[in-house]
Amino acid sequence: MLNQPHRPGSQPLGIPQDIDPFSLQMEGADGAMALPEVMPPAPKGNQTWRWLLISLISCGLTTGAAVGAFVWLVNLPPVANCDNTASITSDRAELYCAQIAAESGQLDDVLASLDLIAAWETGHPLYYEVQPLVDQWSRVALQAANQQLQAGQLEDARALVGHIPAHSTVYDQAQAVLDSWNAEWETGEAIVATAQEALQVKDWGKASQQVQALSDLRNPYWRGEQVQTLSRQIRQERQAQTLLDQAIAQAAPGGADRLGGALRTASQIDQATYAWTHAQPYLNRWSDLLLTLALDKWYGADLATATQLGRQAALNPQRAKVAQEMIWLSESRQQAQTSLSTWRGAPDQLIKLYQAMMVANQIPADSPYYGQAKSNVDTWQTYLGDLAQLQLAQAIGQVRTLDTVKLAITQAQKVPIGHPRRVEAQTMIAHWRQEMERIEDRPYLVKAHQLAQAETIGGLQAAIQSANGVALHRALRGEAQSWIYVWTNKIQAIEDRPTLNQAKAMADRGELTQAIATASTVASGRALYSEAQAAIAGWQQQIFAQEQARQRALQRAAQTPEPTTSETPDDALEAQERLAAELETDAVPLPNQAPTMPSAGPRTTPRGRSTPPLPRRIETVPGPAPKPAAPAPSPAVVTPPAPLTPPAAETPSAPAPVPIAPPPPSLSAPTIPAPAPIDVAPPTLDQGQPPDGDEPQAGLSRRSPLAVVPPQPEHPARPSLTKSAANHAPSHTDILYTGALYVGY
C-alpha cells in the first residue's frame, strides 16, 4: 500500500484523522478535491448499516407517495350542486346533473336530459362520451310515445318522438314508426266517421260493419279501445231510440199524466246520443203543454198539482228554468196559504209568510210568471198590516187567566170587518171564549177528582154530582161526562163484586147450580156483567161435562150382563164399586168442548126393557146449599135386587125426557132415605109465554116467590156410589134415575 502511486487530489500522508478527506480546497486558482493517496479499507459493519439506511429511506418515500396519492384522491374538488344553477359552471357539471336527473326514472327528467346533450354538436369535447346516453334516452322517449299512441294520444306521441335528436341511432326507427302511426290513425278516424254517419241515420248494420273494420287495424288503440267504444255507442243509440219511440207512443193520447210519463221516459235517454237531439222537439212541446196546464191549476188554487206539473216539465233541460219559476210561484203561494190558514197568530206564521215572499221574489222580471208573483207579494204585505195587533192579543191570551183572556178578546175585536185578518181574529175570539169556559168549569172537575180518590160509593157519587156541575155545551162537558162514566162503572163494580165473589166461592165448593143462580143476578149493562157471564159459561160447561160422564157410565152399566144366582154378595159389591169408579173417571170436565146440550132425539134401548125418559136440560135452582145426607148403614143381608120400574107419574115441571138405557138390575144398594123437598124459585114469565130453553137463568129473580116442588122418586134398586166417588161429589147432590142432578136437603 505504500508503493501505490500518488493520485492527484489525494490527501497526503500525515493528515490528521479529524480532517474530512472530501473537503474542497478553495484556495488558489484551481480547486481540487484533496483525496488521500492511500484509502483505508472500510469496515464491513459500516457498509451494512448504509444499506439498511437506504432501504428505510426508500420505504419512507414510497409510503409518502401512496399517502399523497390517497389524499389527492380523497380531496377531489367538490361536485356541482344541481339544485343551484349558479354552481353549474361547466359542461361536465351539466352532464353530471343530467345523469342524476335521468336516474330518477321520471319521463320529464329523461326528456330534459336528452334535450340538454342533444344540442352538443360534433366538435364538443364531450360529444362522443355522451352518445351512449343519447341512444339510451332516445329509446325511453320512443317507448313512452308508443304508450301514448296506444292510449289514443297521437299528438302526445308525436311530441315525444320530436325529442329524439337526428344524430341518435334511434332517430330513423322513430320516424318510420311515426309515419306508420299517422297512416293508421287516418284510417281509423275515417272508419269512425263513417260509423257516426250511419248512427245519425239509424243504419245499425253499417255501423256494425265499421266495428269489424276497426278490429282489423294493428294499433291496439283502434282494435281494442275504439272497438269497445263504438260497440257501446251503437247499443246506447239503439236503446235511446227505443226509449224515444216509447215516449212518443205514450204521449200520443194526450193528457197530463201521459205527457208526464212520456217526459220521464224520454229523460232516461243519454244526452250524448243522437236520439237525444231527435227527441228535443218532442220534449219542448210536451213541456210547454204541461206548463200551460200548471198555470191553469195555479189559477184554480190547485197548487200541489201545479207544483207537480212544474217538476215534470223540469225534466226537459231546455225548459228547466221556466219550470223552476212555476215551482217557485206555486210553492210560495202554498206556504202563504199554510201560514194564513192557521187561526192562531204565531211567530212561525210570520216567518212562513216572509219565506213565501222571498220565494216569490226569486222570479225574475223577464219571467212569464212575474206578474202573478208581484200580485201575490203585494197581497201578502197587506195581510201583514195588523199582524202585530193580533200578535199582541195572542200574547195577552197566553197568560190563561180570566181577566187576560177577556182583554185579549177585546183586543182582537178591534180588527174591522172586511180586513183580510178578520176571520183569523174571530177564530181567536172563539178560542178564547172556550178558554174562559175551561177556566170557569175546571174547579168542578178538580173537586170531583178529590172526592173520587176515596174509592167509596159515597165518594164516587159525590164526585159524579160535582162533575154534573159542568153545564151542557160547555168546553169541559165531554171530559166531565167521561169521568162520570168511569166513576159509575166503579160504583157498579163495588156493588156487584161481593155477589160475584160469593158465586165463585160456591163454585169452588162444587155448588155450581147455586153459583150460576147467584152470578145471574148481575144485571145486563153493569160493569161486571161480562165477567159474570163468562163465569156462568164455564160453570155450565162443567155441569154439562159431568152429565155426559154420568150418562156414559149408565150406558156401560146397562150393557153389563145380569148376574146369576151363583154370585155372592161380595161379587155384587165389587161390581158396584167398579161402576162407581167408572163414573168417577168419566166425570172429568172437558175444558175445550163447548157446553152443548144432549140431543133430544130418542135413543135405542135393549129389547124387553123400558126406561123412564130423561129431561132435555138440567134444572138449576137458586138457594143455599143443603146439608149433606147421613150415610146409609151397611145392609146386614144382601138380597137380590128387584127390577127397576119407572115412577108412576113425573113432576109436571120436568121438561121433555130423553130415553137412555136402564141401570143394571144385578146391583144392590142400601136403602137411602128420600131427600127433602127442594124450594125452587119459578121464573117470572108472561101469561102464555113458554120459558126460554137457551137461557135457563134468564127468568130467575131474587124477588120471585118460592115454590116447593117434591123431588123425583128414587127407585130402591138404584146403584149406590162407593166411598171414593161420594167424596168427589158435592155433599148435597145426588143423581136421579131420570138423569137429572138432584140437590137434596
Dump pLDDT digits (tens) for 404-451: 888 888 888 877 787 767 787 888 888 888 888 888 888 888 888 988
Residue 235 lies in a domain: no
Cβ neighbours for 623, distance < 8 A, ≥ 6 positions apart: 514, 517, 678, 679, 681
Residue of 452, 451, 407, 446 lying closest to 428 (CA atoms): 407
Please report, rounded to a whole number, the percentage of residues in the chain having pLDDT higher than 90.
Answer: 27
Count the Cβ atoms, other than its own, within 10 Å of residue 557.
Answer: 21
DSSP 366-391: TSTTHHHHHHHHHHHHHHTTTHHHHH
Rg (CA), the chain: 65
Give residue for cell 224520454: 266
Both 337 and 261 in one domain: the answer is: yes
**Cα–Cα–Cα angle for 484, 485, 490, nearest 5°?**
95
- Inform me whether the pLDDT recorded for 122 exceeds 60: yes
CB environment 493-512: b (16+ within 10 A), e (fewer): eeebeebbeebbebbeebbb
Label residue 482 by pLDDT band (50, 70, 90): very high
Residue of 324, 241, 325, 312 lying closest to 283 (CA atoms): 312
- Rounded to an integer, what distance in angstroms lies between the CA atom of residue 620 and that of residue 653? 12
Strand (E) or helix (H) holding 227? helix 227-251
- Rounded to an integer, what distance in angstroms lies between the CA atom of residue 412 and that of residue 699? 65
Q: Are 319 and 280 a contacting pair, CB within 8 Å?
A: no
Both 654 and 725 in one domain: the answer is: yes
- Whole-number pLDDT of residue 160: 80
Residue of 740, 467, 503 lying closest to 615 (CA atoms): 740
- DSSP single-letter state for residue 224: I
- Mean pLDDT check: name the lowest of 73-82, 285-294, 709-718: 709-718
Encode pLDDT of 219-230 as tens digits: 888 888 889 999
Final residue of a structural domain among 154, 169, 184: 169
Both 726 and 650 in one domain: the answer is: yes
Phi (first) and psi of residue 708, to 5 degrees: -90, 120
Higher-confidence residue of 585 and 398: namely 398
Cell of 298: 195555479
Residue of 118, 174, 166, 170 lying closest to 145 (CA atoms): 174
- DSSP single-letter state for residue 400: -
- Rounded to an integer, what distance in angstroms lies between the CA atom of residue 304 and that of residue 312? 13
Label residue 582 by pLDDT band (50, 70, 90): low
User: What distances in angstroms separate CA 168 from CA 125, 358, 658, one per listed residue?
Assistant: 17, 72, 130
Both 407 and 379 in one domain: the answer is: no
Label residue 640 by pLDDT band (50, 70, 90): very low
Both 408 and 356 in one domain: the answer is: no
Alpha helices by DSSP H, listed for 252-341, are 256-266, 274-299, 303-313, 320-341
Higher-confidence residue of 385 and 615: namely 385
- Rounded to an integer, what distance in angstroms lies between the CA atom of residue 26 and that of residue 33? 9
- Whole-number pLDDT of residue 651: 35
Residue of 745, 735, 733 lying closest to 583 (CA atoms): 735
Torsional sign, CA 506, 512, 515, 519: positive
User: What distances in angstroms separate CA 202 from CA 193, 237, 239, 297, one per listed residue?
Assistant: 14, 8, 12, 40
Report the mean per-residue pLDDT for the chain: 71
- Whole-number pLDDT of residue 400: 74
- Rounded to an integer, what distance in angstroms lies between the CA atom of residue 251 and that of residue 457? 76
Final residue of a structural domain among 321, 355, 384: 384
Label residue 574 by pLDDT band (50, 70, 90): low
Both 322 and 442 in one domain: the answer is: no
Residue 193 lies in a domain: no
Both 593 and 679 in one domain: the answer is: yes
Q: Three-class SS of residue 658?
A: coil
Higher-confidence residue of 180 and 21: namely 180
Both 621 and 715 in one domain: the answer is: yes
Residue 41 lies in a domain: no
Alpha helices by DSSP H, listed for 610-652, are none
Residue 184 lies in a domain: no
Both 600 and 658 in one domain: the answer is: yes
**Cα–Cα–Cα angle for 194, 195, 200, nearest 5°?**
100
How many domains would you assign to the chain? 4
- Mean pLDDT check: name the lowest of 176-190, 456-470, 709-723: 709-723
Phi (first) and psi of residue 659, to 5 degrees: -70, 140
Residue 52 lies in a domain: no
Higher-confidence residue of 454 and 596: namely 454
Model pTM above 0.75: no
**Cα–Cα–Cα angle for 228, 230, 234, nearest 5°?**
115
- Whole-number pLDDT of residue 262: 94
Cell of 582: 167408572
- Inform me whether the pLDDT recorded for 456 exceeds 80: yes
Residue 668 lies in a domain: yes
Q: Three-class SS of residue 479?
A: helix
Domain with 433 in it = 402-490
- Rounded to an integer, what distance in angstroms lies between the CA atom of residue 413 and that of residue 426? 7
- DSSP single-letter state for residue 318: G
Q: Three-class SS of residue 322?
A: helix
The partner residues of 741 in beta bridges, in order of sequence, read 735
Higher-confidence residue of 737 and 619: namely 619
Residue 177 lies in a domain: no
Beta strands in 477-519 (DSSP E): none
- Whole-number pLDDT of residue 518: 92
In total, the chain counts a number of residues equal to: 745
- Inform me whether the pLDDT recorded for 285 exceeds 90: yes
Residue 497 lies in a domain: no
The separation between CA 262 and the C-alpha centre of its own chain, rounded to angstroms, equals 34
CB environment 11-32: b (16+ within 10 A), e (fewer): beeeeeeeeeeeeeeeeeeeee
Both 559 and 630 in one domain: the answer is: yes
Q: Are 375 and 332 a contacting pair, CB within 8 Å?
A: no
- DSSP single-letter state for residue 225: I
- Rounded to an integer, what distance in angstroms lies between the CA atom of residue 552 and that of residue 658? 14
Both 158 and 120 in one domain: the answer is: yes
- Whole-number pLDDT of residue 257: 92
- Mean pLDDT check: name the lowest of 310-324, 561-575, 629-643: 629-643
- For residues 487-509, average pLDDT: 91
Higher-confidence residue of 49 and 685: namely 49
- Rounded to an integer, what distance in angstroms lies between the CA atom of residue 671 and that of residue 637? 12
Residue of 360, 200, 369, 378 lying closest to 292 (CA atoms): 369
Cβ neighbours for 350, distance < 8 A, ≥ 6 positions apart: 339, 384, 387, 391
Both 406 and 351 in one domain: the answer is: no
Give residue for cell 426508500: 58
Cβ neighbours for 248, distance < 8 A, ≥ 6 positions apart: 262, 282
- Rounded to an integer, what distance in angstroms lies between the CA atom of residue 464 and that of residue 482? 10
Encode pLDDT of 67-98 as tens digits: 877 766 655 455 556 766 655 667 677 777 77
Final residue of a structural domain among 354, 384, 414: 384
Cell of 132: 351512449
- For residues 194-204, average pLDDT: 92
